[in-house]
């Protein structure tokens, strides 16, 4: 199966709404002829400006998180309904920073995945291991647990359409990048886990990104690996030239 590459920029806590609009106006011209799927995951406050800036283009806007409840006494949280009303099509769920700093768990990741689908929003589910876990030789076990926990109760059709992002925590924001072979090994493991849970067809359909200090220099060889279907890009997604190079990958 030929899977379309999906390149998502995770802006994290960067750019004001006016800065986002200016950046995306420039980016849309730079990537207009690219056939890969292109996503920008912007801060909540930037969503309206971002959606307007990319209207009619080949760029989709994602949120960086969401709550699993429709409404209620959850101060500071954002629901799927709110995101859908703003025109959001994708949402990042379970990013390592959310897990580390905001007590995200496999259970809440699963709840959020179900909630996203209820609103027709495609989840980008993040999994990954720390340096200590890799050094302890439990990367495979840890990743399998995260994948299985995230997908509990999801249908084969839902899993076929979602995106899983493998982000080795030890390679995020550190300047270190997993070798293409290391990245491929874990992405292949993720696909194998999906195959065990569902079927060959589902595992071949699901798109798996690599996210760990992806740069314009490293992206091409990473994306050439058979089980890596694009990237979840951090710092490089804040630079039009670099992100355009990454998004423009061709076999």
Catalytic residue among 67, 95, 129, 184: 95
**Model pLDDT, residue 173:** 67
Closest CA to 248 of 236, 226, 235, 230: 230
Q: Has 118 been annotated as catalytic?
A: no
- pLDDT band at residue 170 using 50, 70 and 90 as cut-offs: confident
Q: Could you tell me the domains of the chain?
A: 6-247 (3.20.20.70)
User: Helical H runs in the chain?
Assistant: 17-30, 47-54, 80-85, 96-101, 106-118, 131-135, 139-151, 156-161, 180-197, 200-205, 219-223, 240-247
* DSSP symbol at 97: H
* pLDDT over 90 (residue 132): no
Mean of pLDDT values over 223-251: 96
81-122 pLDDT, tens per residue? 999 999 999 999 999 999 999 999 999 999 999 999 999 999
Catalytic residue among 97, 104, 129, 167: 167
The reply to whether 95 belongs to the active site is: yes
Average pLDDT over residues 37-48: 98
| Token duo for residue 219 | 């992206």
């Amino acid at each position: 199966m030929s899977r379309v590459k999906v390149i998502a920029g995770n802006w994290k806590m960067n750019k004001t709404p006016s800065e986002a609009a200016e950046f995306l106006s420039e980016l849309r011209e730079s990537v207009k002829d690219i056939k890969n799927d292109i996503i920008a995951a912007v801060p909540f406050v930037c969503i309206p400006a971002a959606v307007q800036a990319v209207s009619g283009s080949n760029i989709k806007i994602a949120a960086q998180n969401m709550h699993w409840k429709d409404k209620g006494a959850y101060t500071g949280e954002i629901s799927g309904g709110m995101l859908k009303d703003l025109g959001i099509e994708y949402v990042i769920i379970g990013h390592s920073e959310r897990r580390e700093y905001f007590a995200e768990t496999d259970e809440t990741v699963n709840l959020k995945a179900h909630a996203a689908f209820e609103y027709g929003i495609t989840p980008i589910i993040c999994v990954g291991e720390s340096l200590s876990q890799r050094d302890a030789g439990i990367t495979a076990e840890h990743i399998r647990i995260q994948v299985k926990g995230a997908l509990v109760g999801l249908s084969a059709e839902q899993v076929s359409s979602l995106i899983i992002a493998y982000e080795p925590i030890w390679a995020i924001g550190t300047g270190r990048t997993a070798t293409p072979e290391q990245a491929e090994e874990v992405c292949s493991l993720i696909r194998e886990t999906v195959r065990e849970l569902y079927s060959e067809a589902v595992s071949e359909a699901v798109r798996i990104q690599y996210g760990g200090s992806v740069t314009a220099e490293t992206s091409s060889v990473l994306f050439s690996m058979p089980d890596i279907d694009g990237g979840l890009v951090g710092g490089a997604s804040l630079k039009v030239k670099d992100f355009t190079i990454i998004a423009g990958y061709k076999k």
